[in-house]
Structure 1
Amino acid sequence: MHPGLREILDLIPAMQEKMSVPTEILLSNLIMISEIPAPTFMEQQRTEFILWRFSENQLLNCSTDEMGNALAILPGTEGNRNILIAAHVDTPFPESVDHTINVLPGTVTGPGVGDNGLGVAALMTLPLFLEHLNIKLNSNLILMGSVKSLGKGNIAGMRFFMEHSNFPIHAGICIEGVKLGRLSYSSIGMLRGEIINHVPEQYDWSRFGAGGAIVNINEVINRILEIPLPRRPRTSIIFGSIKGGSSFNVIPRSAELRFEIRSEDEGMVDHLNREIQNIAAEVSSHTGTDVEFKEYARRKPGGLRFSHPLAESARAILEELGITPRISPSTSELSAFIDANIPAVTIGLTDGENLNETTESIALDPITKGMSQLIGLILAIDRGYCDESK
């Protein structure tokens, strides 16, 4: 740990005592932003609200890029480095879902409040926290509400920014609403895909074993479950969703399976990818139906070492707050930082339940700790305490 980090750790108790006013504003931002639907690829209304808040805070260059990311700059006193603070704007909920947010004593409940309404609200309110705490940064803060992040979006907004921005980024922080103590500074290898079964209109239902698209997808699942997975490198296959059919007495002509391969080794991801494609082709051949394989997203493993000063500082700040770090690899925006060789971490701000359900809820009391963590980490990066020695 950098010797100078002790100074920041000693500031944290006083920071928490002064956060009541900006935290109230953060709560208002959380409610308003969470009640704006923002399914992936349809985030424009939410990014417009973010830009309005950025402009109210008199930030510079409040704008969207060609991808639709919401961007603004809080200039530093020296401006010799840029720190990117990002929160993904999209949610997994369609516009048809009721986005009414309920505030109860100690909790806020509603679709997307934790993933990632709170993260976006923290991003919008961060300049007010710094002003209220009388914190002046040497570095420029680039604030970014990133779009097209989840699912088929494949973190396209963040990737676009990394490839086209004229700002050299010194370090980055990805903000997630849940969970406080979450700390990611590495990415695991990942492939996200979909297998779709279509039964042709002229299908011969007298074929042996003919049973419809759901039965065929079930066969694909059973075959995938038979693939041996190694204990090292740690590897898993996650079935995210399955859907198909329309009624009790109608044989389904289509069904789809969404899955994700995760492994510490990129070669193992490639191996399992080939295995699953072969299974899809074989089931197609045996059933006489169309089994289509689509790849939507891929991540490479990598990231910071455990001993990197940014990782060390993030752990030390959490421990100072009395929180045990929950270290786990990420497949989110952090991957784009890793691909660009920029040191970055992903953190959470509070505790929550029922994540990605319409009854999603977050706890209010821990938010001051979450924001203290975020601001402490920004200060550590700003003052050079997270720089790796050359």
Structure 2
Amino acid sequence: MQDIVLANLVAIGEVPAPYQHEEGRVRMMLERFSECGLQSCSTDATGNGLAILPGSEGAANILMFSNVDTLADEHAEPSLAFRKDEIVGPFIGDNSMALAAMASLPILLERLQIRLKANIIFMGAVRMLGHGNLYGLSGFLNNSGMPIRYGLSLEGVQLGRLNYACLGQLLCDITVRLSEDYNWVQFGATGAIIPMNDIINRINKIPLPRRPLTTIVFGLIRGGVSYRNIARETVLSFEVRSESADLLNQVAQQIEDITEDVAANSGVTVKFDIFARRAPGGLDISHPLVRQTRAIHTALGISSQMYPTTFALAALVEKKTPSIVLGLTTGTRRNDLPELEEAAAIEPIWTGLAQLVGVLLTIDGGLCDGA
């Protein structure tokens, strides 16, 4: 199995999949699905790569998925490198390792002579990250017509990860743009960067409670073209996260007030765009799916890492589908590696796969029902 998993990891992980250009990686996923005997290997109307492992009864569907898109530049050519006990490259943890595990799992189940009663729907979901706003997963859930009994979202790292609830979330962009009549030759002209700095400082002073847990994560800022040119436009991309939907609305209003005030006093145009809103929710820690997964972790010597997530679980929560997020191996982002590269340990992958098989068996055996 080791050779199969690592071969799938390289085959999938070295196919570029920037946002809105995931077709090549989806094709590779479908090839791997077809080679291991899955049925209905195809893309849906949204562009997701789908395949089905039929169950002996087929009365229920388990959805197993991960995102195929990455945050890479459109022209990036990813390359993976093997070292003594790890593999290094871009987006291994998010989410090439998870895709490789999905492509290998049918072979593992066959070798273990395991056939579930339920169908497993495997999906490589497109346009999930950033402005994609879970487009692939939401499109499938809204349009497939296939009832999903349980959802399993896979992440490459970290082994022991067990997300069963999600925070509420706002995904936001603030754009500061100079007016057309801006006085470029005036000495001391600051351009778009200084007003953006003012906005960031003021957002950072918004009081945030510890309970309900609320935080603002500044993820990306970009603007300007060179050292010597005044920046015409600056864009800040960030998230607001909270356990409370009401607090999200309050913070959004405060940020709106800040941007309007800076625009009025700086002579620049400021646009505050909330392009995604996700409600908090999910399972309780006492849900049988969570309890059974924790028991599997204990049996395998895995330390469960339980915390609310901010990603794909939100789309399943909206549909009231019991779901969890699982990690498959351990990984690190070290200072000796480029910004987008990660190192993932090879040995823990097998424990991660054993965890996955165990969770599937408990779901299929009805041990997670009745909540």
- Give the alignment's TM-score, normalised by structure 2: 0.96
Q: Which residue of 1 is the match for residue 140 of structure 2?
A: 161
Match of 1:217 in 2: 196
Q: Does 1:239 align with 2:218?
A: yes
Q: What is the SS of the residue equivalent to 1:348?
A: strand
1:40-71 Cα shifts (integer Å, max 9, x gaps): 21110000111111111221111111110011
Q: Which consecutive aligned stretches of 4+ in structure 1 deviate over 4 angstroms post-superposition?
A: 205-210
CA offset digits 1:309-334 (Å, max 9, x no partner): 00101111111111111101112221
Map 1:1-390; keep pairs closer than 5 Å: 22-204=1-183, 210-354=189-333, 357-389=339-371
Percent identical: 44
Mapped partners of 1:124, 1:305: distance in 2? 30
- Which AA in structure 2 matches 1:339? E
In the TM superposition, residue 84 of structure 1 has moved relative to its aligned partner by 0.6
Post-superposition offset of 1:96: 2.5
Distance 1:248 1:63 in 2: 48
Matched to 1:249, the amino acid is R
SS of residue matched to 1:114: helix
CA contact (8 A) 2:15 2:77 kept: no
Residue type at the aligned position of 1:106: D
- Counterpart residue type for residue 304 of structure 2: P
Which residue identity lines up with residue 181 of structure 1 in the other structure? G
Q: Match of 1:259, as an amino acid?
A: F
Q: Is the 8 A contact 1:43 1:90 kept in 2?
A: yes
Distance in 1, matches of 2:256 and 2:302, equals 43
- Measure the CA separation in 1 of the matches of 2:143 and 2:330: 35
CA contact (8 A) 1:210 1:287 kept: no
- Report the residue type matching 2:258 in the other structure: I
Counting matched residue pairs gives 368
- Displacement of 1:204 in angstroms is 3.6
Contact 2:128–2:134 (CA under 8 A) maintained in structure 1? yes
| 3-state secondary structure, aligned to 1:387 | coil
Select between 123-132 and 197-206 the one with higher mean Cα deviation: 197-206
Q: What amino acid does structure 2 have at the position aligned with 1:378?
A: L
Distance 1:208 1:248, change over 3 A: closer
CA deviation after TM superposition for structure 1 residue 296, in Å:
2.2
Q: AA paired with 1:379?
A: L
CA deviation string 1:130-163 (max 9, x = no partner): 0111111111111111111111110110001111
Aligned to 1:13: none
**Unaligned stretches of 5+ residues in structure 2:** none
One-letter amino acid matched to 1:387: D
Q: Secondary structure at the match of 1:360?
A: strand
**Pair 1:209–1:262, CA change in 2 (3 A):** farther
Amino acid at match of 1:220: I
Is the 1:37–1:94 contact (alpha carbons within 8 Å) kept by the matching residues of 2?
no
How far off is 1:108 after superposition? 0.6
Q: After superposing the two structures, state which structure 1 stretch, 266-275 or 349-358, moved more.
A: 349-358
Looking at structure 1, the residues matched to 314 and 370 of structure 2 have their Cα atoms a distance apart, in angstroms, of 20
Instruction: Note the C-alpha offset of 1:98.
Output: 3.6
The equivalent residue for 1:18 is: none
Deviation at 1:229, TM superposition (A): 0.8
Amino acid at match of 1:166: G
Q: Indicate the RMSD between aligned Cα atoms, in angstroms.
A: 1.6
Change (3 A) 1:149 1:215: same
- Secondary structure in 1 matching 2:149: strand
User: Aligned equivalents of 1:166 and 1:233: distance in 2?
Assistant: 36
Which SS does the other structure have where 1:110 is aligned?
strand
The C-alpha deviation readout for 1:340-377, integer Å capped at 9, x for no partner, is 00101000000111189333110000000000011100
- CA shift for structure 1 position 388: 2.1
Q: Secondary structure of 1:77's partner?
A: coil
Query: Quick one: which amino acid aligns to residue 355 of structure 2?
Result: Q
Q: TM-score, normalised by structure 1?
A: 0.91
Is the Cα contact below 8 Å between 1:38 and 1:94 reproduced in 2? Answer: no
Q: Secondary structure at the match of 1:335?
A: helix
Gaps of 5+ in 1: 1-21
